[in-house]
A and B are shown apart, each in its own frame.
Chain A
Amino acid sequence: MPFDWMKIPYSLLTLFIVVNYGFFLNALIQKMGARAGRRYGIPIWQNYVDMIKNYGLRSSITHGAMFYLGPVFRLSGGVGLLLFVPTIYGSYMFSNLSFAGDLILALYFIFFGTLGMALGAGESGHPHAAIGVSRGLAQVSTAELPFALAVFAVALQYQTLSVTEIVAAQQGGFLQWTLFTNPLAVAAAMLGFLGSMMRPPFDVVIAPQEIPIGPPTEYHSAYLALMQTNRAIFPIAKIVIYMNLFFGGASDWPTFFFKVFLIYLWSAFVGVVFPRFRVEQSIRWFLIWAVPLGILSIILV
């Protein structure tokens, strides 16, 4: 298959849209959380300002090569994830670089950033970062497990490993969505989703009251700005996968924005009103509630 060079500027356009939407959405969700606390919260453009500020700080110190590479890995994880899944179903412009086996790649990318981060943070030499990393890896592993199981269930269900094809299979009314065709898998995945969004009850990794603030403790200035950028891309990219796999994908931008918002909101909806689990509690919780669901969904398929 000859490579379509035009895909590159188009994917960059996607990236641009997603970054901005990510910033917007982050702030919006933060504002909603603030409303639950009976206040207004940050201005909607605050995250941009923060990012510019962090890029604009004059000094930065390093703890070694991996310390540099951590945010870079993380960002490339986010960007990579985004670029290899189709954003808008049926759109040539926004199908990105998706290909037949992209689902496996996507799963890899989800983990890739975390690993990079772990290595970078580990090199920062801060005990809190080290503890955060060990917690994070343990928890993310178990949180990804139900998701992976759900993905397998879906893959089995649709007999394909291409995201595009999975989306295609869900077209034709919302009853065709995996949500309704395989609710157990979706449930397992959504529980796993909670775990991967770093919000309560599964934010023990960055818990400010315990290990402020976990892996990124030592990160600052431009490193932090890089991570902030990633924070705008990565959740959206992840949500795109969820949306494509379980919620019928999106065939135009408004649908995309709406669905992403709703899925994002789900984590905040739970996150604002619950405290956090201890790491062994959350692992246990995933193993007891989410993983069986995932296994069950595979079995049922």
Chain B
Amino acid sequence: MSVRDLLSPFAAWKNLFRDPVTIIDPLNDRPGAPRYRGFHQNDMDKCIGCGTCETICQNGAIDMLPVDGIETKQGDSGLRPRIDYGRCCWCALCVDVCMTKSLTMSNAYTWVESDPDAFRFTPGVDKKHWDNAELGYHRPEEHQLMAKVRLPMGEMEPETRIESFAEIVNGYTIEQARLEADRCVSCGLCVATCPAHMSVPDYIAAVRDGDYERGLKLLYETNPFSGICGSVCTHKCETTCAARHDGDPIAIRWLKRHIMDQVTFEQCRDIVGGPRPATGKKVAIIGAGPAGLTAAFDLAKLGHSVTVYEAFDKPGGMTRWGIPEYRLPYARIDQDIDVIRSVGVDIRCNVRIGKDILLDELHNSYDAVLLALGLQLGRATRIPGSEHENVRKAVDLLRQATAFEDFGPPRQAVVIGGGNVAMDIARTIARLQKKEFGRVQVTLTALEDLAHFLADPDEVKEAGEEGVVILDSRGPRQVVIENGQVTGLKTWHVKAIFDEQGRFAPSYDETDEQMHAGSMVIEAIGQMTDVSILGDTLTEKLTWNRGRLQVDAGGRTSEPWLWASGDMVRGPDVVSAVADGHRVAQSIHEMIAETEQPK
């Protein structure tokens, strides 16, 4: 102890002559830091109500609630997060995980209330004083809690694949599939978009866990054509995927395919479980396409006796006859159909209605009849010269190609149309040309500009890689015929496809005319149903709507014994057809159950 120890403490008094360091007005002078994690904001324009914030919240602070004025639509659940500040801990995991970056945090932090129930609010909907705060925590660009980029699908090089009709894509390996499945946030926005309402998040979870058995089970709950869909589904689900807003959507189709790749036919058969006890009821189905077979599958599983009549020699409908092998190998179609057969569905091929058997006979001997005819006829452009024999319909050519019929592939071909069928035929022709002539000379003209092609972007890209010349915004004017031979197609530039009212009425720039050389012009602008098998009497009796058979929600026509489903009432799409098949089967089953009840 020294004198210093006695005196030195008095140094504290020097502060008497210094200004205090107190903040004079702490309530107003202290905005939160630019990164401050204060109260939540939510950009209503961006939010899609995916509920990922709710999933990650470890406090159970977030509820997803419907909000007045926000409609549920594809890709937007219409729900918005309501946050309970009686739970929140401001960890900002919800902000970090937000798929659209709509959820952010302001730098406001003062909220005092007497009523404890007031601390629940829907940011962006309930007006708060910090709604317009600009500072606050936003997820930094490089801060990622999950991968943004989709795992690339391995596929053959264009040079190789053009050589044959072998399948292009390899499918994911287990490792790849797990990584891709890992990106899914299981929000389920896709489920409503999928026509068949496949339980996408669940089977993706099965992939993640490597539990293919469970995945397969989930697939077969909603879709007996999973093998086919895994390859060629239009995957509308991916357009509503939450991951799409900041990164690539999950490759839902490829993951489905991955499950099917990992399982054997026996597994599929065992999962489906074989024939069921018979109910004694009989249903006839015309057309062994996806819609008809799905309905057959469902009804057979309910114990009804189902007979499917197919005009061609193999079942599968448009999946077989319309889709080229390099996209969908036939073995995959066969496997799916064999599984359907395993529940007791009787498929009779080469039976053409109206020729081999009459519709009336079916009406008399079955409890219900389902029309699932598909779209077998190609639409015509009706431009000058299109009656020429070398102006062909894409569907016809594809069918011939599938049947290995030689239709005389042209040295140079022009395809009209910008849909998937146009791509299919262009690429099929390209392969045939390569095989026969060693070089590809296919020109594809479409009304739409490249950004609005109806075809899958991947298809367009791959067609281009394979040497198909793709010309967008070209309206066909005339098939040029010289000396009785087709020599090409004249097109005009398209200014607009739709008029101001939004009706289909293309307008052309006539000054911009081009000639596309080719010895064959192929129309791929749409398909329609061959309804001639119905017969005049029935056609007369049925109610029609703009050329289509009118059906109720269950697919029942105005005739109580007759149902219709699939592409003929829905439009071309495998998974829609499957969905329709389910609906119709349900309707038919209900009818059967109703008639049984009185007993």
Complex partner residue of B16 from A36, A40, A274, CB under 8 angstroms: A36
Which residues of chain A come closer than 8 Å to B10, judged between CB atoms? 269, 273
Which residues of chain B come closer than 8 Å to A37, judged between CB atoms? 15
Assuming the A-B contacts A273-B9, A274-B9, are A35 and B22 also in contact, with contact meaning beta carbons closer than 8 angstroms in the complex? no
Please give the distance in Å from A207's CB to the nearest CB on chain B. Answer: 18
Q: List A residues 33-55 near B (Cβ within 8 Å).
A: 34-40
Q: Which residue of B lies closest to A273 (CB)?
A: B9
The B interface, classified by DSSP as helix, strand, loop or mixed, is helix
The A interface, classified by DSSP as helix, strand, loop or mixed, is loop
Q: List B residues 3-38 near A (Cβ within 8 Å).
A: 9-13, 15-16, 18, 20-22
Check if A35 sits within 8 Å of B9, measured CB to CB.
Answer: no
Assuming the A-B contacts A38-B20, A38-B21, A39-B20, are A269 and B15 also in contact, with contact meaning beta carbons closer than 8 angstroms in the complex? no
Does A272 have its Cβ within 8 Å of any Cβ on chain B?
yes
A interface, size bucket: 10 to 19
Does A213 have its Cβ within 8 Å of any Cβ on chain B?
no
Which residues of chain A come closer than 8 Å to B12, judged between CB atoms? 36, 272-273
The CA-CA distance from A40 to B19 in the complex, in Å, is 9
The CA-CA distance from A273 to B11 in the complex, in Å, is 8
Check if B18 sits within 8 Å of A273, measured CB to CB.
Answer: no
The CA-CA distance from A274 to B7 in the complex, in Å, is 10
How many B residues touch A, CB cutoff 8 Å? 11
Check if A40 sits within 8 Å of B20, measured CB to CB.
Answer: yes
The CA-CA distance from A34 to B15 in the complex, in Å, is 9
Please give the distance in Å from B265's CB to the nearest CB on chain A. Answer: 80
Q: Which residue of A lies closest to B13 (CB)?
A: A36
As a 0/1 sequence over residues 270 to 305 of chain B, the CB contacts with chain A under 8 angstroms (1 = contact) are 000000000000000000000000000000000000
Q: Which residue of B lies closest to A34 (CB)?
A: B20
Complex partner residue of B22 from A32, A36, A40, A269, CB under 8 angstroms: A40
Please give the distance in Å from A268's CB to the nearest CB on chain B. Answer: 10
Complex partner residue of A39 from B9, B11, B13, B21, CB under 8 angstroms: B21
Check if A36 sits within 8 Å of B9, measured CB to CB.
Answer: no
Check if A38 sits within 8 Å of B13, measured CB to CB.
Answer: no
Q: Which residue of A lies closest to B14 (CB)?
A: A36
The CA-CA distance from A38 to B12 in the complex, in Å, is 10
The CA-CA distance from A40 to B25 in the complex, in Å, is 13
Q: List A residues 260-277 near B (Cβ within 8 Å).
A: 269, 272-274
Check if B18 sits within 8 Å of A38, measured CB to CB.
Answer: yes
Complex partner residue of A32 from B9, B11, B16, B21, CB under 8 angstroms: B16
A residues adjacent to B (C-beta < 8 A): 32, 34-40, 269, 272-274
A-B contact list, 7 entries, CB within 8 Å: A32-B16, A35-B16, A35-B20, A38-B15, A272-B12, A273-B10, A274-B9
Apart from A38-B15, A40-B20: 18 A-B pairs, beta carbons within 8 A: A34-B20, A35-B16, A35-B20, A36-B12, A36-B13, A36-B15, A36-B16, A38-B21, A39-B20, A39-B21, A39-B22, A269-B13, A273-B9, A273-B10, A273-B11, A273-B12, A273-B13, A274-B9
